[in-house]
Amino acid sequence: MANRIIISGGGTGGHTFPAIAIADAIKEKEPETEILFVGAKGKMEMEKVPKAGYPIKGLWISGFHRKLTLRNLMFPLKLLTSMLKAWSIIRDFRPDAAVGVGGFASGPVLDVASRMGIPALIQEQNSYAGATNRILSGKVNRICVAYDHMERYFPADKLVLTGNPVRKDMLREQPSREEGAAHFGFNPNQPILFIFGGSLGAKSINEAMAANSAILADKPEIQVLWQMGSLYVEDFGDCATAQLENVRAEAFIDRMDMAYAMADLVICRAGALTISELAQLGQPAMLIPSPNVAEDHQTKNAMALVEKNAGVLLPDPEAKERIITRAMSLLAQPETLEQLGKNIRTMARPDAAARIAAEVLQLIEKKGGR
């Protein structure tokens, strides 16, 4: 009988896309495996997972806000409801293993699975462990991580250094610089910046771009692809920077492979998925960590690169003043960009999804499988 596996978590692309990559890797190893996702209602996984070809069930769950808010009053009820729903899903699906990738839904599902004696594995994408995974670490059988020194947060005997899974299109043969430039209408013989704040955009990065129109206007040879995010098109789509001839402003980039391929320098947040993609492609980057994440974990992600001379850190409060001048300084140092690219590539782990899939299947085998 085919194995059954639950994969739970999501909330952001940094959780959702690795989860899908793990599922794909499991199916490649054992095509008959039945996989069920469990996510949080209203979050992106409820759309992205079915598009990837997998069924998903949603829990009524959200995070506990660190600031005093009325929404926290609902948290105990949501948690209890989600625990009961998770129990019902696991009872009906009868999984052989449970995988948690972080995010709101991961907690209840992995907690219930562990209590029911089901082999469980969690994957931590960041260099600073998330609260949900820290809580679960004592209950699960295996913890897959992407950075060294994670014994600071987890039991050392459960750790496996696997790296972070990246999307399939990042593992295929990549377009050339010329192909990428042609796709976006740029000249491959002139400098190109690719600036984005994640799939939804980043307000402070957009504000920084809007504040630097004069500098970019004076440097028409510097070409910029700027993904502002669909949430911010109304606020920034008509700003002076977006109207410059050397700037192409887009709400969303669906050909990230083309954008990466043409860029001399990427300017972006320091999310785990983004860093894994940069490493896979050997892409030099200036990282602007988001200040709106738990325990400032993006700064810690960025510092893990800075310590290996594999990335440049620009603090978010300095972005408005320095985002373009710092980028111009780096563009004027091709040797530095080349070294950054070489160093970050050493951190790539293209087999991460396959290694995590192997760990999951090994847990099932140890338990006895079906």
Q: Secondary structure of the chain in the HEC alphabet? A: CCCEEEEECCCCHHHHHHHHHHHHHHHHHCCCCEEEEEEECCCCHHHHHHHCCCCEEEECCCCCCCCCCHHHHHHHHHHHHHHHHHHHHHHHHCCCEEEECCCCCHHHHHHHHHHCCCCEEEEECCCCCCHHHHHHCCCCCEEEECCCCHHHCCCHHHEEECCCCCCHHHCCCCCCHHHHHHHHCCCCCCCEEEEECCCCCCHHHHHHHHCCHHHHHCCCCCEEEEECCHHHHHHHCCCCHHHCCCEEEECCCCCHHHHHHHCCEEEECCCHHHHHHHHHHCCCEEECCCCCCHHHHHHHHHHHHHCCCCCEECCHHHHHHHHHHHHHHHHCCHHHHHHHHHHHHCCCCCCHHHHHHHHHHHHHHHHCCC
pLDDT per position as a tens digit, 29-52: 999 999 999 998 888 899 999 999
In the chain, the amino acid numbered 217 is A
Q: Tell me: do 182 and 327 sit in the same domain.
A: yes
Residue 225 pairs in a beta bridge with: 194, 248
pLDDT one-digit tens code per residue, 292-304: 887 788 999 999 9
Q: Report the distance separating Cα 342 and Cα 220, nearest Å.
A: 29
148 and 201 both lie in a single domain: no
- Residue 227 to residue 245: CA distance in whole angstroms: 16
80 and 159 in one domain?
yes
Beta-bridge partner residues of 189? none
pLDDT at residue 290 tops 90: yes
pLDDT at 73 over 70: no
Q: What is the pLDDT of residue 186?
A: 98
Which residue did the predictor score with more confidence, 198 or 72?
198
User: Is 13 a residue whose pLDDT tops 80?
Assistant: no
Tokens of 15: 């959780």
- My answer on whether 191 and 94 are in the same domain is no
- Does the structure show a pLDDT above 70 at 369? no
Residues 29 and 88 in one domain: yes
In the sheet that 4-8 helps form, which strands lie side by side, from edge to edge?
56-59, 34-40, 4-8, 97-100, 120-124, 142-145, 159-161
CATH of the domain at 138: 3.40.50.2000
Query: What pLDDT, on the 0 to 100 scale, is given for residue 370?
Result: 55
State whether 235 and 341 are in the same domain. Answer: yes
Q: Which residues carry a binding-site annotation for UDP-N-acetyl-alpha-D-glucosamine? A: 12-14, 126, 167, 199, 253, 298
Question: What is the residue range of 250's domain?
Answer: 170-345
Q: Are residues 50 and 139 in the same domain?
A: yes
Q: Which residues are annotated as a binding site?
A: 12-14, 126, 167, 199, 253, 298
Give the residue-averaged pLDDT of 15-20.
Answer: 91
Convert the pLDDT of each residue in 108-133 to its tens digit: 999 999 999 999 999 999 888 988 89
- State residue 67's pLDDT score: 55
If we measure between CA atoms, which residue out of 241, 207, 236 comes closest to residue 222?
Answer: 241
Is 59 in the same domain as 142? yes
What is the mean predicted confidence (pLDDT) over 97-107?
91
Instruction: Give the pLDDT confidence of 224-249 residue by residue, as tens digits.
Output: 999 999 889 999 999 999 999 999 99
- More confident site: 62 or 111: 111
What's the total number of domains in the chain?
Answer: 2
The most distant pair of C-alpha atoms in the chain lies apart, rounded to whole Å, by 67
Mean pLDDT, the chain, whole residue set: 92
Residue 283 pLDDT > 60, yes or no?
yes
Do 260 and 328 share a domain, yes or no? yes
Cα 365 from Cα 340, distance rounded (Å): 41
Q: Per-residue pLDDT for 253 more than 70? A: yes
The predicted pLDDT at position 104 comes to 81
Query: Which among 307, 231, 323 has a CA at the least distance from the CA of 44?
Result: 231
pLDDT at 224: 98
State both tokens at 261. 């391929």
Strands 56-59 and 97-100: unpaired
pLDDT at 127: 87
Q: Give the pLDDT of residue 349.
A: 92
Main-chain phi, psi angles of 229, to 5 degrees = 90, 140
CB 240 within 8 A of CB 213: yes
Q: Indicate the pTM of the whole model.
A: 0.85
What mean pLDDT comes out for the span 170-197?
A: 95
153 and 187 co-located in one domain? no
Q: Which two tokens stand for residue 92?
A: 């009906």
pLDDT at 60: 83
Q: Kindly state whether residues 25 and 151 are assigned to the same domain.
A: yes
Q: What is the pLDDT of residues 188-230, one digit of tens each?
A: 999 999 999 977 789 999 999 999 999 999 999 999 999 999 8
User: Residues 314-350: pLDDT tens digits?
Assistant: 999 999 999 999 999 999 999 999 999 999 999 999 9
Integer Cα distance of 199 and 283 in angstroms = 18
202 and 249 together in one domain? yes
